[in-house]
Amino acid sequence: MSTTDLFPGFTARRIRTTGADIHCLTGGGGPPLLLLHGYPQTHAMWHRVAPALAQEYTVVCPDLRGYGDSSKPPTDAAHAPYSKRAMAQDMVEVMRELGFARFRLAGHDRGGRVAHRLCVDHPDAVLRVAVLDISPTRTMYARTDKAFATAYYHWFFLIQPFDLPERLIGSDPAYYLRRKLGGWGSGLDCFDPRALAEYERCYRDPATIHATCEDYRAAASIDLEHDDADVAAGRRVGCPLLALWGEKGVVHRLFEPLADWGAVAHDVRGRALPSGHYLAEEVPEETLTELRAFFAA
């Protein structure tokens, strides 16, 4: 299935990196802007803002490795192939293949975590970064309590050893996907049926279920090691960072995004938007306004 009907004027292509084959859509013209999706979605989550951004930017919307129509590389005992470091390296190589050594960057959910790692590992590549509805991974794990573990139970379910979550999700992946998408203060009505069908198509693949579990296993292990090393070395995000989050969501209720990001980045600004978790699909106009103002500065 092609999602180009959701992205008028965009072109689909496949780019091989040193660790994966990345499916992406590109469109527009002007300075490059990379948009990274979250769990359990694909690049399709950007369909309500990417075409408008393409009026000003060359917009690149990939599927992260393990997601959508990108490849699902074999994992290892350390979950390194699904570390945010590996995912960020993919994105840097994708942008270089497209001719872009430096670019603007936005990431929602897991894509925001990849964006955070990309900014730290490749500081010369990112001009400005926006992170949507997250606080840093290390911070969120460190503050885990009953309220957070209840709301984000999947963080602790998906990291269980292979193949417990894979088997349980695999028994009815469409049910699990819909419960997950609808359970973060949004409901399912905010999703375009075409986008929802795309999420379901991709998530039915057992390889996707396994790869996305590996994403979370990495987040609870090797990613934290990388984050700890950053703190010990004093490495922080050097470019301007915009944090946006939904006022109906868990991040707004349990965390302090501006302070949390201020602990790991030098130049932070942002605010809550009137939505749940899925800002770009629930409140696309507000999200677009914030991104345009930030990236134009």
Considering only CA atoms, which of 104, 129, 114 is closest in space to residue 32?
104
Query: Two tokens at 159?
Result: 């990291």
- Peptide linkage before 40 cis (omega within 30 of 0): yes
Considering only CA atoms, which of 198, 155, 158 is closest in space to residue 174?
198
Active-site residue identified among 43, 79, 226, 277? 277
Cβ-based neighbours of 241, under 8 Å, separated by 6 or more:
119, 128, 129, 130, 131, 261, 265, 267, 268, 269, 270
Active-site residue identified among 69, 109, 215, 227? 109
Cβ-based neighbours of 281, under 8 Å, separated by 6 or more:
45, 48, 190, 191, 192, 195
Instruction: Determine the Cα–Cα distance for residues 279 and 271; give it in Å rounded to an integer.
Output: 12
Considering only CA atoms, which of 171, 175, 180, 111 is closest in space to residue 151?
180
Considering only CA atoms, which of 274, 228, 287, 269 is closest in space to residue 248?
274
Asked if 109 is an active-site residue, the reply is: yes
Q: Where are the alpha helices (DSSP H) in 13-125?
A: 50-53, 84-97, 110-121
Cβ-based neighbours of 153, under 8 Å, separated by 6 or more:
none
Asked if 116 is an active-site residue, the reply is: no
Instruction: Report strand pairing: 11-16 vs 21-28.
Output: antiparallel
Please list the active-site residues.
Answer: 109, 277
